[in-house]
Structure 1
């Protein structure tokens, strides 16, 4: 088992409940990072200031609900997305997909940093079914089938419905970015080829097939340690920081409230029942390395630690088939822990592979038409 899996399992089994409060001098040697290098870190004390939630409007221009219909008026899906449209005709669109149990707002601070570096770029952050979007089957029942095929189809539909909603004549050039489960989804979409020549490339954040499959063995233990309910949003945000699930308090204030729903008694419980998704865990990641290496488009893999690549990825890296970066200071939610650094890596990756900036020499026929000697 690689270091990333050992650290993952250790952190999950050591996760702390939100109440009662920990002593002010308590230190936690657990880490939800993908690297053992960040263990032994002192967690924030029990005297933290109130964690006031941040609004989605601080990070995105619009919140959209997109309906997918059949021939009849019956709605078959209601997708939830956040978007900041491209501000120039040839500007790219970055499509962001979150991980399991997370939400589009896990990219909130990342989106803010990215807009500073690529002001004209568009950003579309989508939410999967059972994570903010709802899909119904033909009988009108909620469809909870979260297979990689369905999640990928949902994401493609959200892209097409966004184009229709905003009246775009055609899709912009696209860069896919996926964290954890989202990395598996964007890889599957890239492999499908349905985005055609609009796809510039795809970036996968902190997920590798081999390590993911190994980490699934400890997923039940991790889910059993999570508090089933929080009294307030403040206590939920504080738990994510003090348990080292997230390392960035501002990002926690933006993303954590979207992970919860209020109960009739006033408490807050998890929006997504991850236990019910167990039947799909292997389906999400099985064969991901092969798809990642063989899909068309530029490829970027960012890991939060010294993960051991499987044989297929190691060979692919030596052959220069993808770009690899490691952020040892980050936890698993690297786009939340280090939003600026993650945005810098994505922007550099985009600029390196942006074909629109390449100026090809004139064709011989064009030179001859101009009366020039060749």
Structure 2
């Protein structure tokens, strides 16, 4: 009876694979008026120092890689399904000046500006091999210490890549908001969400505006740089991120915000409820903004880079056996979740036995605004220093600070991820 009740509660809390339904909340400033927001796209060079295409085999499979930093541990950032490496842009900008590290964010197969001979092959084995191949082609057979960081689909692939044991210098594994049990239960709702999205946009500005107004990406600065990476041009067939001008762009005032850092006691979670009440709320907007579809003669619009509906048969493979695989990987591991209810039985037991560190937050906004996961995560790693990779070449203080900054990125991003 207790297990049945828990299952019902979980089904209400969990959104399919990290995909939020359209927001049912409307926000308004006092007086009903708000400052006009800027929805013009921003070039990747605002956040990364370089990008390159890494060709990994004789078939000519090339992976778009964005980089920042030139020394220290390598943070390999893996995005969620339907998104791109540019989803990590804000994190890349703020971290490099605070710790000595290298940031490597890659467009996964079938996403962004990555081009392969089979973009529809998104199996966990293939994508894990892609990650390993990219790291080896950039750094050789003996790369610096590597920390794999992934969200949702990217988190699952990070686990599978670490499990291949082909990265000898792997120093840590961070998985954000993906658990085998709850993910498998949510697969049935995936198709309905994908069908609910607009199929086409007149312009990049319109696409960015939709992503912010619909609540898919709550941070405007993140939407301006990351949304083009999720679309392709009807004219060229190329990733829309290639069309964004590199002219300097003045960012809106919703960028980096510093917060006081206070250490948390062991086992304490972060309550985000007060921030929504005390902070400034966004300006009023319709729950589901309507956009007129392009006419039959309109050839200047943008569509989604990947049709995830055609990859449905591969979704279970991302998550099947994920908990056991995660627990068995012999490196320091961290799991970031929006709430304790997301844990399945295997991970619950593993956490009690000390196989990995777990951080979570309690928030009313989740799951309808589940990108607010760990919105304020100040100083928590100062109180959980036991999550430090045992790899001799990866300095403990660097990694501890990294995890604090990663959670700060989630607060900055306020972004929903597909899969």
Q: How does 1:44-83 map to 2 (within 5 A)?
A: 48-70=36-58, 75-83=59-67
Are the structure 2 counterparts of residues 287 and 128 from structure 1 closer, same or farther at C-alpha, using a change threshold of 3 Å?
same
**In 2, are the aligned partners of 1:206 and 1:332 still within 8 Å (CA)?**
no
Alpha-carbon deviations, 1:125-151, whole Å to 9, x = none?
111111032222xxxxx3521110000
Matched residue, 1:176: 148
**In 1, are the aligned partners of 2:331 and 2:389 still within 8 Å (CA)?**
no
**Aligned-partner Cα distance in 1 for 2:208–2:218:** 11
**Aligned-partner Cα distance in 1 for 2:373–2:335:** 15
Alpha-carbon deviations, 1:185-210, whole Å to 9, x = none?
110111121112x1111000111111
In the alignment of these two chains, the number of paired residues is: 318
Are the structure 2 counterparts of residues 81 and 316 from structure 1 closer, same or farther at C-alpha, using a change threshold of 3 Å?
same
Matched residue, 2:331: 297
**Aligned-partner Cα distance in 2 for 1:332–1:122:** 32
2:318 is aligned with 1:318: no
Instruction: With the length of structure 1 as denominator, give the TM-score of the two structures.
Output: 0.76
Alpha-carbon deviations, 1:208-228, whole Å to 9, x = none?
111111111100110110000
Unpaired runs of 5+ residues, structure 2, are: 1-6, 236-298, 397-419
1:244 to 215, 218, 235: 215
Instruction: With the length of structure 2 as denominator, give the TM-score of the two structures.
Output: 0.68
2:406 is aligned with 1:352: no
Are the structure 2 counterparts of residues 282 and 150 from structure 1 closer, same or farther at C-alpha, using a change threshold of 3 Å?
same
Give the superposition deviation at 1:306.
Answer: 4.4
Matched residue, 2:413: none
Unpaired runs of 5+ residues, structure 1, are: 16-27, 30-39, 137-141, 359-374
Matched residue, 2:313: 279
1:193 to 162, 165, 172: 165
Matched residue, 2:98: 117
Larger Rg over CA atoms: 1
2:141 is aligned with 1:161: no
Alignment partner of 1:193: what SS?
coil
Alignment partner of 2:38: what SS?
coil
**Aligned-partner Cα distance in 2 for 1:231–1:46:** 25
Aligned CA-pair RMSD: 3.2
**Aligned-partner Cα distance in 1 for 2:308–2:379:** 31
**In 1, are the aligned partners of 2:338 and 2:373 still within 8 Å (CA)?**
no
